[in-house]
Structure formats: structure tokens, C-alpha cells
A and B are shown apart, each in its own frame.
With several copies, the nearest count.
Chain A
Amino acid sequence: MEELNPQPEELVPGDSPEETADGALPQPLPEELEPVLEALLFTTTSPLSLKRLSELTGGLEEAEILGALNGLRTQYAHSQRGLMLSEVSGGYQLATKPDYADWILALLKHRRKNPLSPALIETLSIVAYKQPIVKAEIEAIRGVDTGAVLRTLMEAGLIEVVGTKEVPGRPSLYGTTEVFLKTFGLRNLEELPSLGQMKELFQRELRKPATSEEISDTGATK
């Protein structure tokens, strides 16, 4: 979770001595570079590209950063380390070594049983059934801002950008991922319960008094 949300109106404007002006980020000293990179790669929730790492270190040369990353990789190769430098989708990030997956899985298993909140599940279901779909369409259906939820689903690897819609603004089209299929135990998207299978639900609904009203509402709009 976000540790501290910005609350600008409540905060005293920058009285931290070391803080430099925006944009003028200091460059780490050569001997600081590896630890700084390690701290950055530890903190990030998505892989950081060389370009981004250069920005985050006050514009150091990418070659210099690559050198330090290799240094880190060597450190991690040591058997006493449980972490490794993971290079995924064009960026770098720390990850645990695969050798220790048993214990990591034991830890993750004990996390909350359902880490997907209702908002996440609802958004995911809309993306799953309506993909490819743009944010505005999801928001039209949900009636609420969905930016943060989409980001979380992206970070969790459950959805991804699958293209852009050819309309003004070229908004991103979202779709579900392999991780999504695995998480829900589906071999492919065809295995999503279809509208045909919603029959049961509809019949359950028919037994409830509220339903006939819903249906006649619908009928009236036709």
C-alpha cells in the first residue's frame, strides 16, 4: 500500500535540507551507484529501463549504469544471496532466486485469501468479457474512475495494453493476459462462462420479486 499519500495542503513546503530543486537530481558518486541502483530496483513495482535509471540518477551515462548493474549481478550470483537481478520486458527489477520458490510460495499462500477486492474483480470481469476495451468504456459501465484499479491490475499482470483504439486521443485498449488465465484456471478465453451459462442466474433471478420489475423495465425500453 502507498505508505503516505500526498496531502499538499497539510504539509509544510519543502524544508528538508538535502532536497534539491525538481529536476536537479544529484548524480550518485561512483561508489554509491551500485547501492543506489539496488535501492531503486528494490523499490520499484515495475521494471525500470536503462533510460529511466539514467533519469533517476541525475542523467548518468547508460554505459555507466550497465557497468554497475553487472556489478550487482555479480554480487547476487554469490550463493549467500537470495535475490537476483531480473531483466524483464525491457527493464530491470530485483526478484528472488528461483531456488527458494518453495519458501516464497509458502509465504505468499498465507497472504490474504482473496487479494482481489470487489472493485478489482468487477473491472477485471468487464475487461475479460468486453476485451479489447478502453478505459472510458469501463468507466461508463462502472460509473466510477477506474485509473488506479487498471494500474493495479496491470501491475498484477492480470491485464495488459493490447493496442490502441483508432479514435481521437488513441486510447489504450486493454485485454487479459496469460497470468489472468492461469489465475482463473482457464485454458483460453473461450472457457469464460458464456452468456448461455448465465441462464441459471437469470432463472434464479426470476424467482426473486425484484427481477420481474427489472425485466419489465427492460422490456419497456425496447
Chain B
Amino acid sequence: MSVLYTPKFTLPVFEGPLDLLLHLVKVQEMEITDIEISRITAQYLEALQTMEALQLEVAGDFLVMAATLLNIKLRMILPQEASTEEAIPEEEIDEILSTQDLIRKLVEYRRFKELSATLREFEIQNKGVVYRTQAVMSVPGAKSEIPRQDIRILYDAFSKVFRRIRTQPQHTVQKERFTTDDKLVELRSRIQLGHHLNMNRLFERCTDKEEVITYFLAILELAKLREITIAQAGSYEEIFIAPWNDSQLFSSVEESAPHAVIGIDSIQTNGESISPQIELNSNLADELLSPEITGGV
């Protein structure tokens, strides 16, 4: 006879062996403080069999409890002297529950089941109670809930992203994506349309360092071919690319600050020596020319 009433869908789900034991105690109408170990053990084992028969997975914890119950039962049956503690190895004493330990555990566990039930009531009562978890952005008079931020935070973040892009190994695989020739054709057409290109903007739109370098090589190539001129008003100013001898660019740049004129004739690209006149601030050259590119200097 099963203590668990099939069919399956009414089978209580036990949270653990203690839960099952509590259930059995109640079903058997025992007092928790006066458990009949042999009866409860039999019921417990039967319950496990039922669970197995229903193909419910019986967790190890349930089996441990079964062993514990059998152990307690055994010690109760055995003559008193045989169950004295000398018979049990020291390290196992903690593991073996006495009837009293078991009762204590059951009482404690039942206490928390009761507290759970109270919490459950509270939970249901409060299920529709919602707190705002985000301040409204549209608080009139308080335009932004986010305090003023230092732009350097953003700049540092993007620098890190930029460095990470540069060092991502995938780019060695994708080295064919950008070619100097393509960039050269692109830049030439844009310059020929009479545009002044902002080099910084150009680089910012690049998806990675490789593209920056490709653009840079194309710019050097165009400079060498005397198709473009590059100018910057001073440190930290924008760098512009314009058609060769674009007077407008030069005058505007020269008005604001004298620019350095440096020759970069010793730079090697594509194995050729080039000696274009490039209008560059010397700091800028340091900035743009990585050791690899300036390797020959």
C-alpha cells in the first residue's frame, strides 16, 4: 500500500528527504516528537520505491536519509553495548544521526516550512506592489538624471576600445580587407571633387588600426605624387588633406598658427623612397608614424 496517492499529477513534490519525512509523519498521524522509527523507515522506503516506479529521479539526498533511517533503526534493535560509540569510528559520529538529532532536524525544518508559508502569504499580498526602479528622465526642471560627466571618461573608454581593436588577432586574418590602392583611389576621387578632408575624421571612421594605416599609406602615396597637401595649424588641431597647392587651405591654416614644414624623404613605402613636401606639425609626425613606418629613419 502506498502512502503516496497516484496518479502522478497529485504527487506532492518533496523539497528533500526532510520534507518527505514530515509528510509521512503527518500522514501516519504521529507526533513529530514521538516518531516510531521502524514504521517511518518502512514508509520512507516505500515512498522511495513509489517515486522510482513513477520514474521520478530519486536524488542522492533521499538515499542518504534512507541509510540514516536504517542506521538509526539498526542501532535501536541491536543490543545496547553494540551501539556504544566505541564501535563507531570517530570521524563517522558526526554523520550518524540519533533519533533525537533527527527529531531536532525535523522540528527545525518544519519551522522554516511554516515561515515559508507566511512569506508566501506576504508575497501574494504584495504581488501587485511595484516600486519605481528608474528615475524618470523627463522630470521637468531636471533634464538629466545623470550627473554631469567628464568627457575624459568617454575618451578613455574609446581609447581602450581602439587599442583593443588594434590588438585583436583577427585582423591578421583580415589583412586583405583594405588595400592602399583602394584607399588611394577613394581619396583621390574625394580630393578631386574639391573636398578638404579632415584626416582625424577620416581615421575615426576606420573600423580598425589596419584601415587607419592603409589610409595613411595612401595619403603618403598621394603626397609623394604631389596630388595632395597635408596641413595642421598646430598641436592638437585638426589635420586637413587638400588638393596640392590648395591656397585656401594654406592661408586659413597659416592665419591661425605657423605650421612646421618637415621633409619625410627617408620614409619607405612600397620599397620606394619618397620625398614629398608635407606640411606637418612635428608632433603630429611623431603621433602618426609608428616605429614600424618610420623604421628607416
Which A residues fall within an 8 A CB radius of B?
Answer: 1-5, 16, 39, 42-45, 47, 84, 86, 88, 93-102, 104-105, 108-109, 111, 113-116, 118-119, 121-122, 124-126, 128-130, 141-145, 155-158, 179, 182-186, 191-199, 201-203, 205, 209, 212-222
Q: Which residues of B contact A108 (CB under 8 A)?
A: 130, 135, 142, 145, 147
Chain A contact surface mostly:
helix
The docked-state distance in angstroms from the alpha carbon of A23 to that of B178 is 52
Binds A, one of B222-230, B245-253, B282-290: B282-290
Q: Which residues of B contact A142 (CB under 8 A)?
A: 15-16, 18, 109, 112, 161
Q: Which residues of A contact B110 (CB under 8 A)?
A: 202, 212
Size range of the chain B interface in the assembly = 35 or more
Residue of A nearest to B128 (CB): A101
Q: Which residues of A contact B286 (CB under 8 A)?
A: 199, 203
* Given A42-B132, A155-B134, A196 and B112 contact (CB-CB distance below 8 Å): no
The docked-state distance in angstroms from the alpha carbon of A195 to that of B117 is 15
- Residue of B130, B144, B152, B162 touching A96 (CB-CB under 8 A): B130
Binds A, one of B70-78, B182-190, B231-239: B231-239
Q: Which residues of A contact B19 (CB under 8 A)?
A: 143, 216
* Residue from B110, B120, B217 having most chain A Cβ neighbours under 10 A: B120
The docked-state distance in angstroms from the alpha carbon of A192 to that of B114 is 12
Which residues of chain B in 124-158 are interfacial with respect to chain A, using CB atoms and an 8 Å cutoff?
Answer: 124-155, 157-158
- CB of B120 within 8 A of CB of A218, answer yes
- CB of B116 within 8 A of CB of A121, answer yes
CB of B39 within 8 Å of the partner chain? no
- CB of B290 within 8 A of CB of A218, answer yes
The docked-state distance in angstroms from the alpha carbon of A59 to that of B154 is 37
- Residue of B128, B164, B236, B291 touching A196 (CB-CB under 8 A): B236
B105 to chain A, nearest CB (A): 7
The docked-state distance in angstroms from the alpha carbon of A215 to that of B232 is 25
- CB of B123 within 8 A of CB of A183, answer yes
B43 to chain A, nearest CB (A): 16
* Given A193-B118, A214-B166, A98 and B18 contact (CB-CB distance below 8 Å): no
The docked-state distance in angstroms from the alpha carbon of A216 to that of B115 is 12
- CB of A219 within 8 A of CB of B290, answer yes
- CB of A95 within 8 A of CB of B158, answer no
Q: Which residues of A contact B141 (CB under 8 A)?
A: 98, 100-101, 104-105
- CB of B139 within 8 A of CB of A96, answer yes
Q: Which residues of A contact B244 (CB under 8 A)?
A: none
Q: Which residues of A contact B13 (CB under 8 A)?
A: 118, 219-220
B16 to chain A, nearest CB (A): 4
A101 to chain B, nearest CB (A): 3
The docked-state distance in angstroms from the alpha carbon of A219 to that of B112 is 14
- CB of B203 within 8 A of CB of A193, answer no
- CB of B210 within 8 A of CB of A182, answer no
The docked-state distance in angstroms from the alpha carbon of A17 to that of B13 is 20
Binds A, one of B47-55, B167-175, B257-265: B167-175
Q: Which residues of A contact B242 (CB under 8 A)?
A: none
CB of B26 within 8 Å of the partner chain? yes
The docked-state distance in angstroms from the alpha carbon of A142 to that of B165 is 9
Q: Which residues of A contact B111 (CB under 8 A)?
A: 198, 202
CB of B273 within 8 Å of the partner chain? no
Q: Which residues of B contact A113 (CB under 8 A)?
A: 147
- Residue of A125, A209, A221 touching B210 (CB-CB under 8 A): A221
CB of B254 within 8 Å of the partner chain? no
Which residues of chain B in 203-223 are interfacial with respect to chain A, using CB atoms and an 8 Å cutoff?
Answer: 203-205, 209-210, 213-214, 217
Known: A130-B205, A185-B148. 5 other contacts (CB 8 A): A142-B15, A184-B148, A185-B126, A202-B111, A216-B12
